[in-house]
Amino acid sequence: MRGVRVRLAAATLLGAGLAVPVAAPPPAVADPAGSADTAVAPGRAVIGTEVIGRSVRGRAIPAFHLGQPGPGVPTVVLVSTMHGDERRTRHILTSLRDGAPVRGVDLWVVPTYNPDGFARATRHNARGVDLNRNYPTRWRRAEGRYDSGRAPASEPETRAMMRFLRRVDPDYVLSFHQPLHGVDTLAKRPAFAQRVARTLRLPRKTFSCNGGCRGTMTMWFNATFRGVALTVEYGARPALRELRGPVARRVLRVFGAGR
């Protein structure tokens, strides 16, 4: 009955030539554990939002769906802030999320993959694990800065991303990091890596993972899926204006997409 009364009242106002007040959209629902992204109201570009999992401390890990899914359109996943002290590249992803609709790509963005590390500005998750050493491919136990966890995929963040990538099965994954400033061209598809480096205006490099890459997300994806995953590194303090503007547009251009 209340809805009927509201509609009748609106009709009366319209008939009298008066403006009808439009109710504001409901506010975004903030994650009670304080995730970096779940308190953000979806922008015009967002066609869907889901929580792909939760961190050790219970913080949500949201993924935002953008673009134009459909036949012949590449499916792309962009991931940032796997290391909580590499915080600036997430602005590329949030700029894509918060701007105008994206055309020509089926795009998912995960701006803050490690919300516990982001909250504390540390590389590791809340158990002191480097998530980029916790994947099953060529995993080996390590401690210290590159702590690999007690077992492959021991961390909830790792398992959440693995489930998500298995379900989405993207053609391309770009994993954004800092501060090595370059694109890893020792890749599954070197021509694609060269295109990414050229389009993003970054140097081509070979990343050694400090003596040997083991248990990284891109290694696991490249060994498991038909698609290709690539590491993209920016410098220690890239300009936020550049990341939010020209860099975000260049990322779309890599896949023949735009706004």
Residue 117's closest CA among 161, 143, 83?
A: 83
Amino acid sitting at position 240: L
Q: 28: pLDDT confidence band, cut at 50, 70 and 90?
A: very low
- The whole-angstrom separation of Cα 63 and Cα 49 is 6
144-190 residue pLDDT tens: 999 999 999 999 999 999 999 999 999 999 999 999 999 988 778 99
3-state helix, strand, coil split of the chain in percent (to 5) is 30, 20, 50
CA-only gyration radius of the chain, Å: 21
- The whole-angstrom separation of Cα 155 and Cα 248 is 30
Find the largest Cα–Cα distance for the chain: 76
Q: Is 24 exposed, middle or buried (0-12, 13-18, 19+ CB in 10 A)?
A: exposed
- The whole-angstrom separation of Cα 60 and Cα 119 is 12
Residue 51's closest CA among 41, 42, 62?
A: 62
| Cβ neighbours of residue 72 closer than 8 Å, sequence gap 6 or more | none
- The whole-angstrom separation of Cα 137 and Cα 139 is 5
64-100 residue pLDDT tens: 999 999 999 999 999 999 999 999 999 999 999 999 9
| Residue the block writes with tokens 């993207």 | 170
Q: Does residue 11 have a pLDDT over 60?
A: no
Angle at CA of residue 60, ends 200 and 121, nearest 5°: 60
- Domains of the chain by residue range: 35-254
User: b vs e for 197-229, b when ≥16 Cβ sit within 10 Å of the residue's Cβ?
Assistant: bebbebebbebeeeeebbbbbbbbbbeebebbb
The Cα-based distances of 156 to 115, 164, 248 in angstroms read 12, 12, 29
Q: What is the CATH number of domain 35-254?
A: 3.40.630.10
Amino acid sitting at position 257: A
Contact 61, 80 (CB under 8 A): no
**Which neighbouring-strand residues pair with 79?**
110, 175
Contact 203, 162 (CB under 8 A): no
- What pLDDT shows up at residue 131? 98
Contact 122, 85 (CB under 8 A): yes
Amino acid sitting at position 71: P
| Residue the block writes with tokens 């009927």 | 4
> Could you tell me the pTM of the whole model?
0.85
Q: 238: pLDDT confidence band, cut at 50, 70 and 90?
A: very high
Average pLDDT over residues 215-239: 96
